[in-house]
Chains A and B, each alone.
Chain A
Amino acid sequence: MSLTQAGAVASATTVQAEDAPGGLTRDALRRMRRSPTAIIGLVLIVVFVLVAVFAPLLAPYDPTVQRLDLIRPGEYPGPSREFLLGLDQLGRDELSRIIYGARYSLLIGVVSLTLGASVGLLLGLVAGAFGGWVDSLVMRVVDIMLAVPGLLLAIGVAALLGPRLLSVMIAIAVVNVPIFARLLRGSMLAQRRSDYALAARSLGVTRRRVVLNHVFPNSLAPVIVQGTLALATAIIEAAGLAYLGLGSSDPAIPEWGRMLADTQSSLATSPLLALWPGLAIVFSVLGFYLLGEALREALDPKLRR
């Protein structure tokens, strides 16, 4: 048997195994593997996370060390062999700052998502599980929060808490709360009316167990998608807050949004300094966005075969 034949047989068996009926998770994973969108997204995310985790090993210089001997006001050395992306306005190595910046973007994204999603999901769970006046109350609060446009809400919260990294995370988390609450509640309401919930109820399963063991896990698919997209939004929103001066006030922190914002005054002379953090933001956002889109398609039961 030649190599190609062996490969064909092997792939035939995998196809067979893959076609076996599986749960939604397995089904989704199988479809994700075939989706170029998912793969590109995942690659971008993996690179982003690896850079963030191994920043001290990857960065050629300390991101806070200033080479004041090499810069003059308005004149910052561009890419060279020594400094691959050049030096920033304070004489720091741009590449090292971009690499370390991945840590802050990841941190902001993960913390704001965890905070916002947990509060939002709790509210949505309570509303979806109890219904009635509890549901009305929670949803009115959610409506009020949604009545304020996201960025305005984030600006308000960040202004309230002062210019710190933690404020940015909390501000973005607050924006996430009503989104997750409404999403889970809507999804749970739809699942509660489903046949399997009715079947479980008629078999004598307690209401609580139906909600917690059946309805809740089955309502999570849109939440997972939103979670991925929320990571993308968090990076964009953090950049916006940094541009308004509501990010961390510590200039030593190499945060992409702030790095980008700081280039406004030197845009005419060294536009490249705006390009690098801009590209870093675009690629990381794109990663989460593509993965989210692929997940949405993979988890959509309408598309299951």
Chain B
Amino acid sequence: MLTFVVRRLLLLIPILLGLSILVFLFVRALPGGPETALLGERSTPERAAAVRAAYGLDRPVYEQYASYMGKVAQGDFGVSIQTQRPVLEEIRNRFPATIELASSAMLFAVAVGIPLGFVAGRRPQSWVDNLSTGGSLLGIAIPVFALGFLLKYVFAVKLGWLPGTGRQDVTITTDHPTGFFVLDGVLTGDLPAAWDALKHLVLPAVALGTIPLAIITRITRAAVQEVSNEDFVRTAEAKGMTKQVVTRRHILRNAMLPVITIVGLQTGLLLSGAILTERVFSFGGMGSLMSEAIFRRDFPVLQGGILFLAVVFVLVNMLVDISYGFLDPRVRGA
């Protein structure tokens, strides 16, 4: 088991190195470098040259890369051109929002998807099955921002049940020791603030969670159906075990293997920036940080942000791999 984990970790090194080179070259290839972002209309050749020198852009690319990586190794991702704050600080400010949103979306998807998929898989062609199949098809076919529009229009504009923008009401001034607004409200004892933050999470989480919901439902259904037809299930039933025990111990446990993989992979995807959802609901997480950085040509933020998100994505995927090794002994040898 240990060799399995170590091997997975070693495999990460070339991927992360290659990725850093790719991101580095990409940012340098973007039209309009930092001089355009900083100077804009006031740009003259002399001023542009001064900016390029200040950011070290006049040196050979490989030298720039080496010095960048040297700093990254020390946790220094540079300074945002737009805000003049360290990139790491920007990420630290925004990432909690993304974690909050992604985990609520995943919670929604798992809490609805697994029971739904399970019932659908146990009773194929029943109304639950047909409804969930149709629903998940729709969930995959609708663009996430269109779903966001729809939810916002119905629940925020028409019915006025839930807030449709931001993470918390602007009139609430609670401290944010952790950056997780719901948790912050609980920690500081300001429960109305926590409740308000929670209400702000509902619509974006449902919009973002729909695709994983559709996928989880489908995978659960297929897995439950496949496992139900296995010999060991028939054997267990023939032995006279109660339906409950067979369902819980034989079917559910085995069917959960592919589901866990999917949940893990989807979590990685959600964490890596719900760019579209965050934009619809003006939810200030990593996604909006990245899209702002693109439009403002804020290349240190862009570079650090993509690298950070990709590392998170790769790490989560690796954790999924490893947990799979724990759950299914057959995988370890592979």
Measured CB to CB, the residues of A under 8 A from B are 140-141, 143-144, 147-149, 151-152, 155-156, 159-160, 162, 232, 236, 239-240, 243-245, 257, 260-261, 263-264, 267-268, 271, 274, 278, 281-283, 285-286, 289-290
Assuming A147-B310, A267-B157, is B146 touching A239 (CB within 8 A)? yes
In the complex, which residues 285-334 of chain B have their Cβ closer than 8 Å to any Cβ of chain A? 290-291, 294-295, 306, 309-310, 313-314
Chain B residues with CB under 8 Å of A240's CB are 143-145, 276
**Which residues of B does A touch, CB under 8 Å?**
14-16, 18-19, 22, 26, 29-31, 137-138, 140-146, 149-150, 152-153, 157, 268-269, 272-273, 275-276, 279-280, 290-291, 294-295, 306, 309-310, 313-314
Q: Are A281 and B143 in contact (CB under 8 A)?
A: yes
Residue of B142, B268, B290 most packed against chain A (CB within 10 A): B142
Task: From A236, A257, A274, name the one whose CB has the most chain B CB atoms within 10 angstroms.
Answer: A236
Please tell me which one of the listed residues B15, B152, B294 contacts residue A144 in the complex, with CB atoms under 8 A apart.
Answer: B15
Q: Is the CB of A156 within 8 A of B145?
A: no
Q: Report whether A162 and B275 are in contact in the complex, using a CB–CB cutoff of 8 Å.
A: no
Whether the pair B146, A278 counts as a contact (CB closer than 8 A) is yes
Interface of chain B, helix or strand or loop or mixed? helix
CB pair A267 B152 closer than 8 Å? yes
Determine whether the beta carbon of A286 is less than 8 Å from that of B141: yes
| 7 interchain pairs, CB-CB under 8 A | A232-B141, A239-B146, A260-B145, A268-B153, A278-B143, A286-B137, A289-B141
**Count of inter-chain pairs, beta carbons less than 8 A:** 113
Assembly CA distance A240 to B273 (angstroms): 13
A155 contacts B153, C-beta separation under 8 Å? no
A290 and B313 alpha carbons, distance in the complex (Å) = 29
- CB–CB B275/A155 < 8 A: yes
Residues of chain A contacted by B140 (CB below 8 angstroms): 285, 289
A161: nearest residue on chain B (CB-CB)? B31
Q: Which of A155, A271, A278 contacts B294 (CB 8 A)?
A: A155
Complex Cα distance, B16 from A274, in Å, reads 41
Report yes or no: B145 in contact with A243, Cβ–Cβ below 8 A: yes
CB atoms of A149 and B269 under 8 A apart: yes
Collect the chain B residues with CB atoms within 8 Å of residue A149's CB. 268-269, 272-273, 309-310, 313
Min CB distance B319 to A, Å, is 14
**Which residues of B have CB within 8 Å of A160?**
26, 29-31
Cross-chain contact B143 with A148 (CB below 8 angstroms):
no
Residues of chain A contacted by B268 (CB below 8 angstroms): 149
Kindly provide the distance from the CB of A110 to the nearest chain B CB, expressed in whole angstroms.
19
Q: Which residues of A contact B157 (CB under 8 A)?
A: 267-268
A264–B31 alpha-carbon span in the complex (Å) = 28
Residues of B within 8 A of A162 (CB): 31
A88 smallest CB distance to B (angstroms): 15
